[in-house]
Amino acid sequence: MFNKYFLRTTVLYGSVAGILCFVYCLALNALGIIPLSGKLFPSNIFILVAVFQAVKTYRKHNPDMTMHFWEGLSVSMLTAIIASVVIAVILYIFYSSDYGHNLIAQFVEQALKEYIGAKAQIVKETNLDYFNSLIAGIKAIDPSSIAWTEIKQRPLIAILPSIMISLYYRRQYIN
């Protein structure tokens, strides 16, 4: 079912996507935007493009240009996982530096100021325990929590597009 290009394709496109996500992070930083939280979400487009290209390349290297749905889904999900691990490792190294620690401190300060300013509304909509856990979670942000968030969330975002890409490139085997 899988050919010799499976690992080569997923590692190549996953690594490129992870590096492009970090370049996006650096571009945000150069613009004066702290590259944390939802500001990194648009970089998922690099992962989705890499998933698309990985499945397309893998199918092209099959002997009869056919591919089972599960092959395509495996290629796309492994590409997304590799990309998320690459970006997590790079962001961990980046935020472990002194400069990265300063960025995290600035982000935490801004987020605390924003949430404390909206405390009455948040407590009204939820409760005080939720607000306190939210503040504690913000204060606990560190390089390892950023890396684990990347590893846990990015592949989940790629599930539905991976299914659609796999269905699009799927070709039934002809006997």
Q: What is the DSSP letter of 65?
A: S
Q: Give the residue from 143, 71, 131, 58 showing the smallest Cα distance to 100.
A: 143
CA distance 92 to 89: 5
CA distance 49 to 171: 20
Q: 40 and 24 in contact (C-beta within 8 Å)?
A: yes
Residue 173 has pLDDT above 60, yes or no: no
Quick one: the chain helix, strand, coil %, rounded to 5? Answer: 80, 0, 15
**Per-residue pLDDT tens digits for 34-92:** 888 788 888 899 999 999 999 999 888 877 777 888 888 999 999 999 999 999 999 99
CA distance 162 to 23: 23
pTM higher than 0.85: yes
Beta-carbon contacts of residue 16 (< 8 Å; ≥ 6 apart): 50
Categorize the per-residue pLDDT at 1 as very low, low, confident or very high, splitting at 50, 70 and 90. Answer: low
